Structure 1
Amino acid sequence: MGKMFKSATLLIALMMCWTLAACSVNTGISSNGIAEDPANSNANSMEADASDKKTSPDEPAWKLDTTPITFDWYINFDWFTSKWGGNAVSDYITKKTGVSLNFIVPAGDAGEKLNTMMSARSLPDFITLGWYEDAVQKMINGDMVLPLNELADQYDPYFFKVADPAKLSWYTQSNGKVYGYPNASSSPADYEKYGQLFTSNQTFVVRKDLYEALGKPDMSTPEGFLGALRAAKEKFPEVDGQPLIPIGLHEFTETGNYSLDEYLQNFLAIPKQKDGKLYDRRSDPTYLKWLKVFRQANEDGLMPTDVYIDEKRLEKDEKISQGRYFAMLYQWSDFTEINQKLYQKDPNKVYIAIDGPANDAHDAPTLAGNGISGWTVTLISKNVKDKKRAIAFLSYLLSEEGNKDLYLGEKGVTYDTIDGKDQFLPAVMHLLNTDRQAFDKKYGGSYMYWMLMDTNMNLAWMTGMNAEPAKQIADWTRGKTISMSEFDNLDPDPTTKEGIAEGEQTRLWAETLPKLLMAGSDAEFDQLYSGFMNTITKDPEYGAIMAIRQAAYERNVQKLKSSFKQ
């Protein structure tokens, strides 16, 4: 139960570092309820004129109308600070398609911002958010977004030529309609084709120089793990005048902690199902043994109290840039750019991936890679100012042409065919591998605009994307990365009594988890854990929740089998 962290993935293994920002454009509402751009008062007439031109399933509809238009695009992540325009990629796409984008991002709580817009039914033209977020289904149930398949039927049949049938099938609702399209999505067929190339975002990393100074200890066992943390603290009590932090984790949130939930369970190769029945990995003896290892680390003073209270992304980034963590069970995309800068200062003072916590049999980790659900989904609002231009632009972005434009930019400007392969020009590649911020500002390629990125397509254009220190970490995850698509989207509808009850149970786990780590003894740990399990299993909705999740899992298995045949 609880939401799985889905940003996990190849997209992150590709040296993505994001520097984005947003501004807002006021919109009016026409008599038919469609939002209009006041700076483009003839939008409806242009749509009518463009609709007179014949669409074809073999030709992109965006080519029929390239007059200037600006779409508002809401990105439900407060760290997204990029703007459209002023760099090579976005300027090229606007010149080519006529489309400009005005990104809108939440200034504070993303959920609050989105809920406010939903309540006012004032959603912008495009909306991108995690596929796993409750708001997706709420927008669909509330009739706030348009079915992509119906828009394509009416305005751009080319959509069906470039959209992946497996992804469309996966996202088809019970009413036969498809409302969202994913990024960073990989089907079973993709794993057959590219599996060994796929990487995961889930890693256990250590600071290279400190780890080597300790003799490269084996940290895969409870004894070795605790021993290495203790030795690091004893030998290196300070780093550049700041106290060393032996172990770093993701922040504790209202759903739990990614590091101590999914990541640790995956490193321990704990199954999500046994004999076709879903398995609550929190009840696994090996998992509980390792949670007690972290409890012991806390008791031994190896986990400062700020791990529990102020480990937000910005605080975390600052401490990583100072090299204060000895080890981290963490998603490495979050510090790729920081690690790049550390490497440039001193290649020995970077973070490298090593074997982390393991089960007693020392099975290889089962790390989450791209699933068919992807990471985010993009939807088109019913308020959209121009339906035809919107679906045509979406089709363009998710197509191979659009993905190539977004990744590589314009031929002869940012990339060329070199040694028979389309790849960044040497100067562009050098900047990407040495200064991501400068690359974003000047060029804006390589996943800066990731909303419809197809990470499978992009493998063809990644020649030269192998610079250290990212290469070492990405390579470590290869062969350990698997698809967990069948376990996506199992939770009950959040508006139902089962969904509400499950939400309460998830929050209870989030409250219990730090208490387990701060317990004064293993006996106290056991008591707290038993209390949690007793509470949720006695919940009147517990059986119904389990049944709903099991049925959803079995449907997923069948859908994946069907998609594999396509």
Structure 2
Amino acid sequence: METKLSTIKRIMAASLVATTFVGCGKETVDNTPASEDSITLDWYINYSWFNTGWGSSVVSRAITENTGVNINFITPQGNEEEKLNALIESGSLPDLITLGWWEPQVNEMIQKDMVHAINQLADEYDPYFYQVCDKQAVSWYTQSDGNIYGYPCSSVTPQDVESNDNIGSNQTFLVRKDIYEAIGSPDMTTIVGFERAVRKAKQMFPEVDGKPLIPIGAHLFDDSGNVSFDQYLQNFLAVPYEKDGKLYDRNTDPEYIEWLKMFRQLNEEGYLATDIFIDQRIQMEEKLAEGRYFCMLYQYTDMAAQQKLLYSRDPNSIYIAVDGPKNKNGDDPVLPTNTVSGWTVTMISKNCKNPDRAIQFMDYLISEEGQKLVYLGVEGITYEMVDGKPVIKPEVLSLLNSDRVTYDKIYGADDAYWMLQDNVMQLKWRPENTSPTTQLEEWTYDYASYTGQYDVILPADTEDAYVDSQIKALWAQTLQELLISESEEEFDEILERYKEERNALGYEQLQEKRYQYVAKAKEKLGID
């Protein structure tokens, strides 16, 4: 019996034949990989935390069997930006590169002609791309020269958000369940309620398993700020992105400033631990796995593995999502979904000696068959079909919910290889969710909103991009200074100095230019 994979390969070959007849002038190429013609592609992932291997898991072996491609992952050991810049400067980019869509190196690699146009590779080697790609994502990423150089993962359109009631946000306000319930499950939506809850948690639980409780957790501080204390807090307070046809200055919104002053006060009283200002991701993950934070504005997807470890030890020690900071009107939070930009983009380097195999490999992964494999795994090994629906095998689900690292090594499904994942496509195979992170995700459904029109990336190596980076660096420094200021008067002085220095850098002019990009994005997305 012909398998679905065989059918796909036959269609791919047929597509190439058809291309010849419509005048592309290309020889027909049989892109079905022969078993003896396996290759290895080097794939750079621009995240130091990524440590999933290739070759031992069920999914990676199945992908290699189906495509003839092995993968050698390369990740930075230290600073991601320094590693990627070194690869670019030395001209030694690996075959595939995955990085955040917002990173300036994306435009840099395009402008320096270091990456292939994916559509041109598709035209030459594999027109199947046009059957399996997300048309709106391709349109969004098409450059002014008519080419697309990077393909996104986790791309979501405004239409996807409107037509699905189970697309959420990864931004949550989390509290440790047992501590929160022990202090009476307080209302933490107001400044007064938040302060009281934090103080009470620290007083009743000064230690967790012999180690100091960290009352308030946060993402790491970087060269543009701290998303927990700026973007996420602003989103929970429903601070608008624009007002009266102009971009709104979210960083100086009065209610947002009131909440920052509350955090300043808590720091003065010793409730903002030094840890949150200096810890990097690995230290944060260790402390999450120990359940040492009481509350935090945090991406739940970034602590899923630690949540499962906590659950395996004590289900009451996990984190739960609850109503967090709100504005004085009590408005619901506006929590961004993924956008049409997605999370990362994957590019094919011009150093790649097998660009034909690279585009075929990419096309397989973004196809329905590839997505089903990456998400569910291999039928009969990781899941069974019951009444037409996939059901994860009990022993597989148990391992997934208790030890993600071992699960990835053995099975490698559930988007362990997330670099080209299509979360919207995967919704149709989604089994009934019983994970320790289920409540965290489902809590966001009612508040998820599309805000991708405001994601503006200025062209690299331009004056605007330079000014933008200077203003972000100024905010990063200012935010820390505000939180650790010794008095409210000092806080106000720091904030005023920030406004003055920002304006001197050209903030108002930059905002006007950024809004031009927003207007174009709205038009492109069909948003009023």
Q: Same fold (TM over 0.5)?
A: yes
Q: State the distance in 1 between where 2:177 and 2:162 align.
A: 34
Q: 1:61 to 1:439 in 2, by over 3 A?
A: farther
Partner of 1:512: 478
Task: Give the secondary-structure state (helix, strand or coil) at the position aligned to 1:410.
Answer: coil
Offset at 1:535? 0.9
Q: State the distance in 2 between where 1:61 and 1:280 align.
A: 55
Partner of 2:446: 479
Question: For 1:283-362, what aligned pairs fall within 5 Å after superposition?
Answer: 283-309=252-278, 311-362=279-330
Q: State the distance in 2 between where 1:178 and 1:431 align.
A: 39
In the TM superposition, what whole-angstrom CA distance separates every residue of 1:257-298 from its partner, at most 9, and x where no partner exists? 010111000000111112332112012111111111111111
Q: Which residue of 523, 537, 545 maps to 2:503?
A: 537
Amino acid at match of 2:251: R
Note if 1:216 corresponds to 2:185: yes
Q: State the distance in 1 between where 2:19 and 2:230 align.
A: 45
Q: Which residue of 524, 527, 534 maps to 2:490?
A: 524
Partner of 1:399: 367
Partner of 1:178: 148
Offset at 1:81? 0.8
Note if 1:374 corresponds to 2:339: no
Q: State the distance in 1 between where 2:288 and 2:508 align.
A: 43
Q: 1:63 to 1:409 in 2, by over 3 A?
A: farther
Q: 1:255 to 1:61 in 2, by over 3 A?
A: farther
Task: Give the secondary-structure state (helix, strand or coil) at the position aligned to 1:304.
Answer: coil
Offset at 1:484? 1.2
- Percent identical: 47
Q: Which residue of 380, 384, 396 maps to 1:412?
A: 380
Offset at 1:164? 1.1
Partner of 1:456: 424
| TM-score normalized by the length of structure 1 | 0.86
Q: State the distance in 1 between where 2:377 and 2:193 align.
A: 48
Q: 1:380 to 1:521 in 2, by over 3 A?
A: same
Aligned residues of 1:51 and 1:155 also touching (Cα < 8 A): no
In the TM superposition, what whole-angstrom CA distance separates every residue of 1:175-227 from its partner, at most 9, and x where no partner exists? 11110110011012211222x20121111111111111111111110000011
Q: State the distance in 2 between where 1:61 and 1:168 align.
A: 25
Q: 1:397 to 1:169 in 2, by over 3 A?
A: same
| TM-score normalized by the length of structure 2 | 0.92
Amino acid at match of 1:377: V
Amino acid at match of 2:346: T
Q: State the distance in 2 between where 1:57 and 1:412 align.
A: 37
Amino acid at match of 2:220: E
Partner of 1:201: 170
Partner of 2:45: 75
Question: For 1:24-43, what aligned pairs fall within 5 Å after superposition?
Answer: none
Q: State the distance in 2 between where 1:220 and 1:370 align.
A: 25
Amino acid at match of 1:110: E
Task: Give the secondary-structure state (helix, strand or coil) at the position aligned to 2:70.
Answer: strand
Note if 1:127 corresponds to 2:88: no
Aligned residues of 2:13 and 2:30 also touching (Cα < 8 A): no
Amino acid at match of 1:447: D
Q: State the distance in 2 between where 1:375 and 1:481 align.
A: 16
Q: State the distance in 1 between where 2:47 and 2:487 align.
A: 39
Q: 1:383 to 1:215 in 2, by over 3 A?
A: same
Task: Give the secondary-structure state (helix, strand or coil) at the position aligned to 1:434.
Answer: coil
Offset at 1:459? 1.1
Q: State the distance in 1 between where 2:65 and 2:441 align.
A: 35
Q: Which residue of 86, 93, 96 maps to 2:56?
A: 86
Task: Give the secondary-structure state (helix, strand or coil) at the position aligned to 2:175.
Answer: strand
Q: 1:207 to 1:156 in 2, by over 3 A?
A: same
Note if 1:156 corresponds to 2:126: yes
Offset at 1:113? 1.0
Q: Which residue of 116, 122, 125 maps to 1:146?
A: 116
Q: State the distance in 2 between where 1:133 and 1:515 align.
A: 26
Note if 1:231 corresponds to 2:200: yes
Amino acid at match of 2:32: K
Q: 1:225 to 1:155 in 2, by over 3 A?
A: same
Q: 1:543 to 1:268 in 2, by over 3 A?
A: closer
Note if 1:136 corresponds to 2:106: yes
Offset at 1:144? 0.3
- Structure 1: gaps spanning 5 or more residues: 1-49
- Structure 2: gaps spanning 5 or more residues: 1-11, 21-27
In the TM superposition, what whole-angstrom CA distance separates every residue of 1:124-175 from its partner, at most 9, and x where no partner exists? 1110000010100000011000111111111111111111110011001111
Offset at 1:438? 2.2
Q: State the distance in 2 between where 1:485 and 1:395 align.
A: 25
Amino acid at match of 1:409: G
Task: Give the secondary-structure state (helix, strand or coil) at the position aligned to 2:419.
Answer: coil
Aligned residues of 1:186 and 1:372 also touching (Cα < 8 A): yes
Q: State the distance in 2 between where 1:135 and 1:263 align.
A: 25
Q: Which residue of 481, 494, 516 maps to 2:460?
A: 494
Note if 1:252 corresponds to 2:228: no
Amino acid at match of 1:199: G
Task: Give the secondary-structure state (helix, strand or coil) at the position aligned to 2:418.
Answer: coil
Q: State the distance in 2 between where 1:68 and 1:355 align.
A: 52
Q: Which residue of 553, 563, 566 maps to 2:518?
A: 553
Deviates further, 352-361 or 316-325: 316-325
Q: State the distance in 2 between where 1:95 and 1:322 align.
A: 39
Deviates further, 420-429 or 50-59: 50-59
In the TM superposition, what whole-angstrom CA distance separates every residue of 1:327-350 from its partner, at most 9, and x where no partner exists? 111111222121112112221111
Aligned residues of 2:391 and 2:431 also touching (Cα < 8 A): yes
Deviates further, 211-220 or 314-323: 314-323
